[in-house]
């Protein structure tokens, strides 16, 4: 081929590549959507992060909302927890997808900070909702700058499950403090039970550790998110205690099945989420009357635990922002909460509304209700400080290194603190 032609060919190739790159740069920008008039009946698509069985429950609420707002159409779809984050991100990127989503407590701040979800303050609903919501839950969803991109949809709390008959037989009262817990564990170990105490709902991660951190009187950040406070003596105490539960007392590193463990007596005591309350008796009738719940044991710093749950938020590209916000606010009405609790009850699980005063209305045992109410007083959700989500895998790793590889707790907490401080501004 003649030299000139070769040069031309190369230039053409380079130009095409450059053109493609430029065009791709332009098209990656996200298109804008128009919003409909807020008085128009809306067609809302609602993605619920959770199981299929919840769709029926949410349908009950949606139908009531539709009855009050004729012409509205609400499509509800369940999305599995494992896939949900990725799918919501894909929707946010393409500016197309659901109008309302439910997701992890921290997702509102995550997506909101990037412009993927709407600040709900603009609809005025946050002022009305905030007084109704348990403070521990609300604090997590409020961003540092005061924005609220998601409001709590439900709450999940940690409870202490135990075999009441086995404990009674040994004349042990349900442990109220760390010392009580250790004593109880050692007692059962002496009787030949290998791992009397297990921790479910998140094993070997920052979530479970937060329980102990709070009980020791420590915290991840200061309240204003300006300083990282996790490398404190209290945190070290908590880390040592928690790690020993695994190292010395054999708490499994992976979540075992709570129900069958309790039934067989392999598990005598456990930390677990409140969802087990409704399932245990129905799935394992042999357990009836043999188990009970209490508040998590207190540490040197008092009581404390983690609140989980989900938020409801509005995607930024929605055509019906006002109606979506209105639908979200409906979840807090007495009517909706009753419908939710009834439907959940009928489907065999418990729904704890973020409206703390309604815990009394839950259909469960009195001890459970008392435990839930007490727990709610001191429970707090995940930190709402910038950079928290980014840091969590590394935090998990550092914590796991203490538990599994006997790393020095103070050193690891120092590393975690450095990471969190860097990500606060980074």
Partner 1 sequence: MSITEVRTEPRTPAVKRKRRPHLRRNLPGYLMLAPFLALFAAFLVWPLLNSLYLAFTDFNGIKPPNFVGFDNFERLWTDDARFRKALGNTSLYVVFSVGLTTLLALALALAFRTTSLRDKTMRTIFFLPSVTSSMALFLIWGWIFDIEDFGLANTVLSWFGGGSVAWLSTPELAVPILVFISVWGGAGYGMIIFVAGLNAIPEELYEQAEIDGASPWRKFWHITLPLLRPVTTYVLITSLIGAFQVFEAVYIVFRTTASNVGGVLDSALMIVPYLYDMGFGKFELGFASAIAWTLFIVIFIVSTVQLRLTRTLKDL
Partner 2 sequence: MSRRLSWGSIARIPLYLLAVTMLAPFWWMVIGAFKPVPELSRNPPGFLPADPSADNFHDPAWVAGKQIAGHVAGLLQRWPELPGGYFRFMANSLLVTTAVTIGSLLLAAMAAYALTKMEIKGRRIIFLVVLASMMVPWQVSLIPNYLIVRNLGWLDSYQGYIVPALAKAFVLFFLVQYMRSIPDELIHAGRVDGAGEFRIWWRIVLPLLRPALAAMAIFVALAEWNNFLWPLIIINDDSYANLPVALSRLSTSIAQNPQGMGVVMAASLLTSLPTVIFFFVFQKHFTKGITLSGIKG
Least distance to partner 2 from the beta carbon of 335, Å? 21
Q: What backbone phi and psi angles, to 5 degrees, belong to 58? A: -70, -30
Which tokens hold the place of 99? 């109008």
* Residue 228 DSSP one-character state: B
> Looking at the chain, how many residues does it have?
426
Size of the site for partner 1 (CB under 8 A): 43
17, 68, 90, 169: which one binds partner 2 (CB under 8 A): 90
In terms of Cα–Cα distance, which of 109, 209, 196, 202 is closest to 149?
Answer: 109
Site residues for partner 2, 20-49, by CB under 8 A, read 24, 27-28, 47
**How many residues contact partner 2, by CB under 8 A?**
37
Phi, psi of 234 (to 5 degrees): -60, -40
Among 63, 170, 186, 257, binds partner 2 (CB under 8 A): 257
Dihedrals φ, ψ of 121, to 5°? -60, -30
Q: Which does 394 bind (CB under 5 to 8 A by kind): partner 1, partner 2, none?
A: partner 1
Cα dist from 392 to 139, 310, 366, 421, whole Å: 19, 18, 36, 13
Alpha-carbon gap, residue 174 to 162, rounded angstroms = 8
Measure the CA–CA gap between 378 and 295, rounded to whole angstroms. 11
Residue 227 CB neighbour total at 10 angstroms: 14
**β-pair partners for 380:** 306
Taking CB under 8 A as the rule, does residue 4 contact partner 1? no
For residues 161 and 351, which CB has a smaller minimum distance to partner 1 in the complex?
A: 161
The residue range among 66-74, 127-135, 204-212, 337-345 that interacts with partner 1, by the rule CB under 8 A, is 204-212
List binders of partner 2 among 340-369 (CB under 8 A). Answer: 346-349
Q: Candidates 174-182, 253-261, 315-323, 396-404: pick the segment binding partner 2 (CB under 8 A).
A: 253-261
Q: Does residue 278 touch partner 2 according to CB under 8 A? A: yes
DSSP string computed for 165-205: HHHHHTT-PPP-BHHHHHHHHHHHHHTT-S--EEE-SSSSS
- The answer to whether residue 14 forms part of the interface with partner 1 (CB under 8 A) is no
Token representation of residue 148: 């609220």
Range 256-295, binding partner 1 (CB under 8 A): 256-257, 260
Binding region for partner 1 (CB under 8 A) out of 32-40, 343-351, 353-361, 395-403: 395-403
Does residue 382 belong to the site contacting partner 1 (CB under 8 A)? no
Closest residue by Cα to residue 236 from 380, 416, 379: 416
Cα-Cα-Cα-Cα torsion 364, 368, 372, 374, nearest 10 degrees, comes to 140
Dihedral angle of Cα 71, 77, 81, 83, to the nearest 10 degrees = -120
Give residues 53-112 in contact with partner 1 (rule: CB under 8 A): 82, 85-86, 89-90, 92-93, 110-111
Nearer to partner 2, 116 or 383 (CB): 116
Please choose which of partner 2, partner 1, none residue 92 contacts, taking the beta carbon within 5 to 8 angstroms, the exact cut-off set by kind: partner 1
Task: Name the segment binding partner 2 (CB under 8 A); options: 84-92, 127-135, 145-153, 372-380.
Answer: 84-92
Cα 152 to Cα 108: distance, rounded to the nearest angstrom: 10
Residues engaged in binding partner 2 (CB under 8 A): 24, 27-28, 47, 51-53, 55-56, 77-78, 80-83, 86-87, 90-91, 93-94, 96-98, 255, 257, 260, 278-279, 282-285, 346-349
Residues engaged in binding partner 1 (CB under 8 A): 17, 20-21, 24-25, 28-30, 82, 85-86, 89-90, 92-93, 110-111, 114-116, 202-205, 207, 252-257, 260, 389-390, 392-394, 396-397, 400-401, 404-405
């Amino acid at each position: 081929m003649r030299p000139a032609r070769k040069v031309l060919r190369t230039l053409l190739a380079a130009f095409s590549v450059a053109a493609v790159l430029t065009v791709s740069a332009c098209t990656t920008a996200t298109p804008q959507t128009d919003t409909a008039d807020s008085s128009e009946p809306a067609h809302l698509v609602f993605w619920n992060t959770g199981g299929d069985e919840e769709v029926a429950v949410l349908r009950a609420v949606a139908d009531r909302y539709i009855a009050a707002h004729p012409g509205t159409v609400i499509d509800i779809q369940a999305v599995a927890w494992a896939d949900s984050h990725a799918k919501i991100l894909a929707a946010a990127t393409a500016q197309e997808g659901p109008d309302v989503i439910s997701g992890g407590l921290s997702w509102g701040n995550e997506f909101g900070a990037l412009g993927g979800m709407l600040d709900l303050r603009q609809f005025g609903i946050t002022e009305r909702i905030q007084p109704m919501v348990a403070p521990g839950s609300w604090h997590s969803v409020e961003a540092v700058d005061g924005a609220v991109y998601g409001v709590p949809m439900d709450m999940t709390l940690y409870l202490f499950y135990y075999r009441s008959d086995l404990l009674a037989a040994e004349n042990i009262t349900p442990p109220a403090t760390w010392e009580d817990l250790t004593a109880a564990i050692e007692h059962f170990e002496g009787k030949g039970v290998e791992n009397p105490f297990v921790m479910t709902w998140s094993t070997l991660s920052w979530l479970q550790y937060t329980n102990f951190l709070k009980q020791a009187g420590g915290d991840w950040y200061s309240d204003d998110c300006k300083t990282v406070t996790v490398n404190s003596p209290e945190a070290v105490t908590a880390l040592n205690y928690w790690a020993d539960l695994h190292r010395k007392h054999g708490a499994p590193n992976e979540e075992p099945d709570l129900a069958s463990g309790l039934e067989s007596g392999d598990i005598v005591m456990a930390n677990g989420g409140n969802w087990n309350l409704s399932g245990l008796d129905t799935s394992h009738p042999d357990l009836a009357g043999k188990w009970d719940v209490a508040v998590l044991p207190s540490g040197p710093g008092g009581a404390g635990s983690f609140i989980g749950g989900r938020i409801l938020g509005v995607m930024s590209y929605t055509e019906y922002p006002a109606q979506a916000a209105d639908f979200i606010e409906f979840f807090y009405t007495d009517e909706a909460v009753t419908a939710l609790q009834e439907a959940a009850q009928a489907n065999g699980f418990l729904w704890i509304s973020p409206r703390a005063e309604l815990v009394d209305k839950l259909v469960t045992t009195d001890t459970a209700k008392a435990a839930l109410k007490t727990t709610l007083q001191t429970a707090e959700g995940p930190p709402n400080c910038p950079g928290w989500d980014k840091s969590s895998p590394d935090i998990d790793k550092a914590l796991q290194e203490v538990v599994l590889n006997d790393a020095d707790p103070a050193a690891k907490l120092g590393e975690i603190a450095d990471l969190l401080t860097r990500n606060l501004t980074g």
